[in-house]
Chain A
Amino acid sequence: MSTSNLVYMANQIGKFFVSEDRDTAVDGIAEHLRLFWDPRMRSEIVAHLRAGGEGLDPPVRAAVARLS
């Protein structure tokens, strides 16, 4: 999988929650990733976070951290 593509997709999910408070946003993003992303996609985004998480927006970083 293209990591940059996964980062883009994750941030796009994050933007949907832009009007929510941070906790709601992080919950919503993490839940969406759990419900709709194939495990290999989740593994790669988690690995990317562990490698520094370049490009991930702040609430998305928090959500991805919950997956690991």
Chain B
Amino acid sequence: MSLVHEIDYGTPRIDSATTVTLTIDGRAVTVPEGTSVMRAAMEMGTEIPKLCSTDMLDSFGSCRLCLVEIEGRNGTPSSCTTPVAEGMAVKTQTDRLKRLRRGVMELYISDHPLDCLTCAANGDCELQTQAGAVGLRDVRYGYDNKHPAPPKDESNPYFTYDPEKCIVCSRCVRACEEVQGTFALTIAGRGFGSVVSAGMAEEFLASECVSCGACVQACPTATLTEKSIIDIGQPEHSVVTTCAYCGVGCAFKAEMRGDEVVRMVPYKDGKANRGHSCVKGRFAWGYTNHGDRILNPMIRERISDPWREVSWDEAIGRVASEFKRIQGAYGRGAIGGITSSRCTNEETFLVQKLVRAGFGNNNVDTCARVCHSPTGYGLKTTFGTSAGTQDFDSVEHTDVVVVIGANPTDGHPVFASRMKKRLRDGAKLIVVDPRRIDLVRMPHVEADYHLALKPGTNVAVLDAMAHVIVTEGLFDEAFVRERCDWDEFQEWAAFVADPRNSPEEVETVCGVPAETIRGAARLYATGGNAAIYYGLGVTEHSQGSTTVMAVANLAMATGNIGRPGVGVNPLRGQNNVQGACDMGSFPHELPGYRHISEDATRTIFESLWGAPLDREPGLRIPNMLDAAVEGSFRGLYIQGEDILQSDPNTHHVAAGLAAMECVVVQDLFLNETANYAHVFLPGSTFLEKDGTFTNAERRIQPVRKVMESRSGMEDWQITMAIANAMGFPMTYDHPSEIMDEVAALTPSFAGVSFDKLDRLGSIQWPCDEAAPEGTPVMHIDGFVRGKGRFVITEYIPTDERTGPRFPLLLTTGRILSQYNVGAQTRRTANAAWHQEDRLEIHPHDAEQRGIVEGDWVKLASRTGETTLRATLTERVAPGVVYTTFHHPDTQANVVTTEFSDWATNCPEYKVTAVQVAPSNGPSDWQREYEAQARASRRIAPVAEPAE
């Protein structure tokens, strides 16, 4: 193995159908029109010296090192800023150029410390490399006249800023602007006093820097350097793999020294992230080696007992014997399993196979139950397939971006950067969200319309937009007639055209001015390519599935489906939500979204698996918990999920878990759910196993092992061991064999294999004979279900209502630096940005309650109460409060209710009626929970062997 070196072409690739032929150093080269001379030279293998240019950024022309001579032109233009021209003759190496470059380099080095041997960038410093490239042998100005630089800034937990080593190339500033779109950096001062400045000359940590690391990656010297490089040294090999955080699915090079990760570097060839990353993916991988990792299997008789470390054989044996005993005593349907969107496709496939064929029932569910299950239902009903329609590249062709119930700059930051770039280039923006999310107004981005609706009124607002589109004749009749069921369209059109769905009527329900709704609808329908991106603010409602169908209705009515730049794009929360759903994790569906009652499909699986399958749907997670309390469900295998912290109404989840006789938790840490577990099976991180993740754009990407599993078993091996111990044989030697089985059973995966993934890098399903390299954009010639189906989406208000006791509406979400239940990110230095869950409350609501910034407040609902500290902000409207759910000592889900989506039981996290009042500190419940959790995590000392 060696380091994966990616060629830096100096300037970005140009997409142009017109080509230009020129000669460089006497050799002809043909490139797209608009390409820089520098890039054209690199395309033919000639690397022109450079410092301020890199192909992730637009050319800048400041370093004066990339000078060339062009026949017939005066002077020595910079090759990075000079576009090619037909017949141009370029020389990259002449005596004059050599003299000029050495002179330029002399000036750089004259003001640069010469501590190369002890510098962290030694071996990976472009200044050092270019000094060698231009043949620098002496500096006529001497070495002792360095200009004083500001002190080193070590405030960021992950990288340092050392101004002394800065050559003021502005790559960091431009990366922050062009790649990340945050505009946190600038060059302050003049001449030798020029320095990179974060914010208003603040420390990096205190500035608006989001720690994405694009500046560190762009820096050609040791000015911005990962602390891990300073601590460990330069890596010696790298492995390309896929991030295990959000649904963007960034490709990374895991740069290694031995089996130690030195740093994660975003992979330029990664088609989801195109060389960018966020603070989680690039930096927050330290949990892998955190001291809280459990590395040995453990069992206990009762949940009040301390854990006892045992061998894998004993632990697996306990699982199998307990599950068999429970089935013998209570029936085949008394046990089940939960797959995880954090685990690989292969692992989730095996868990559902174990449940269906090994347990003999369909009691398998996944955490998508609590996030995007309505997406599955809604898009399958309308389009015929349970997935987003586009790839991320599509946004580059979008004229109108609609963001509904999503906060991409926090939840999907790398895609948000691409979206912001398109918005800066002129696309229009409509935001539908109760909160004033960052996209509403941030540097160089401002929403044309912000529909700050009352939580729970999505359907009313979308129906009102449809009303405008239909009654003002803005729908695409040709598209609808050709691609959709015309009769169903007419019924739908009559429904939305009814006066009760007019913006003027809906305004009284949702609080959005009618003219704002009308303006947004007109822009969406007539502004060119319009694409809808949505998140859990759409799905996590009692009308979540209805909202998804309302979104699909809008896209079909306006013809915004089936080409680049348009579409319906669910932004998936976790890395493998799409994949976990694809792999048949829902109780009613086999892999590939085929209902379990379809005899022909079931027969195929039965034949290959050698076991009969139940034709009836199984229990969903909330149904499992209900059944446990009632007594008919007694055993649960949970792979990589923490339902106690993530699922609604914590008290009810705890009651369900406590009622079970055998709870098996497979995870990296003793999570909150493990407080109620009888068997703990230590899992492996994404760095410790092979497999695939499927991101929000249906892109299947390889996860590659860079170190051995610290627990000794990869997660797919654990599931296999349970299956074998229960008498259902599984004999895979490698996850690639599992994917081969998926491909054999699932038409949309028929052409997928690990070999092909190695060759192509990634594949977007459907991948079959018709599309052997995958499908970037779906429904181009027709919908998967045939004709697109318009569904009538009547607005039904949620039963969760505000009143005198609970006058405020709580909505929950996540923050950039933390990830879901925080099991991973809380165990990294990301805690520097978010050490606790806070309650956002509008200053008016706070003042009425006598609450000031930072106060402890009690947050109470009909379900329960917790305490946390308040942050006063106008991001939330009066009457609305907001918090995150990253910290178990807050347990926001103690407050959320069990109201859920009518079709899928996806919880209504986004609407909870609450009251907020000053408090003295943590509640009694929080203290009791903390004590119980501490007691539950006791591990008995291993007995010394007898002499």
Contacts and interface: CB of A to CB of B under 8 A. Distances in A.
A39 B626 contact: no
A19 B904 CA distance: 20
Contacts of A35: 588, 595, 597, 617
Contacts of A2: 626, 629-630
Q: B interface, how many residues as a size bin?
A: 20 to 34
Given A16-B796, A18-B794, A18-B796, A40 B495 contact: no
Contacts of B495: 19
Interface string A30-65: 001011111111000000000000000000000000
B617 A40 contact: no
Contacts of A18: 794, 796
Given A16-B794, A16-B796, A19-B792, A36 B626 contact: no
A12 interface: yes
B903 A32 contact: yes
B105 to A, nearest CB: 69
B588 A36 contact: yes
B626 A1 contact: yes
Interface string A8-30: 01001101101110000000000
B630 A38 contact: no
Contacts of A38: 333, 363, 587, 616-620, 623
Contacts of A12: 542, 902
B546 interface: yes
B632 interface: yes
A1 to B, nearest CB: 5
Interface in B316-357: 333
Contacts of B627: 1, 40
Nearest to B631: A1
Contacts of B630: 1-2
Contacts of A39: 616
B632 A40 contact: yes
A31 B166 CA distance: 67
Interface string B591-632: 000010100000000000000000011111001001101101
Given A1-B630, A38-B618, A15 B796 contact: yes
Q: Is the interface of B mostly helix, strand, loop or mixed?
A: loop
Interface string B519-549: 0000000000000000000000010001000
A41 B623 contact: yes
A37 B617 contact: yes
A interface SS class:
helix
Contact of B617 (A1, A16, A20, A36): A36
B383 to A, nearest CB: 18
Interface string B216-254: 000000000000000000000000000000000000000
Interface string B535-569: 00000001000100000000000000000000000
Contacts of B794: 15-16, 18-19
Contacts of A19: 495, 792, 794
Given A20-B792, A35-B597, A15 B617 contact: no
Nearest to B498: A19
Given A37-B617, A40-B333, A15 B902 contact: yes
A13 B903 contact: yes
B777 to A, nearest CB: 29
A13 B597 CA distance: 21
Interface string B357-389: 000000100000000000000000000000000
Nearest to B377: A36
A40 B792 CA distance: 30
A53 B902 CA distance: 20
Interface string B580-595: 0000000110000001
B617 to A, nearest CB: 6
B369 to A, nearest CB: 12
A16 B903 contact: yes
Nearest to A6: B626
A39 B618 CA distance: 8
A32 B904 CA distance: 10
A34 B597 CA distance: 10
Interface string B622-666: 010011011010000000000000000000000000000000000
Contacts of A5: 626
Contacts of B903: 13, 16, 32, 36
Interface string B896-926: 0000001111000000000000000000000
Contacts of A36: 588, 617, 903-904
Contacts of B363: 38
Nearest to B362: A38
B827 to A, nearest CB: 37
A14 to B, nearest CB: 9
Contacts of B620: 38
Max chain A CB contacts within 10 Å: which of B620, B623, B627, B630? B623
Contacts of B905: 9
Contacts of B792: 19-20
Nearest to B626: A1
Nearest to A40: B632
Interface of A: 1-2, 5, 9, 12-13, 15-16, 18-20, 32, 34-41
10 contacts: A1-B630, A2-B626, A2-B629, A15-B902, A16-B546, A16-B796, A35-B588, A36-B903, A38-B363, A38-B620
Closest 5 A/B residue pairs (Cβ) = A12-B902, A19-B794, A38-B619, A39-B616, A15-B796
Interface of B: 333, 363, 495, 542, 546, 587-588, 595, 597, 616-620, 623, 626-627, 629-630, 632, 792, 794, 796, 902-905
Given A13-B903, A36-B617, 13 more contacts: A1-B630, A1-B632, A2-B630, A9-B905, A16-B902, A35-B588, A37-B617, A38-B333, A38-B617, A39-B616, A40-B627, A41-B619, A41-B623
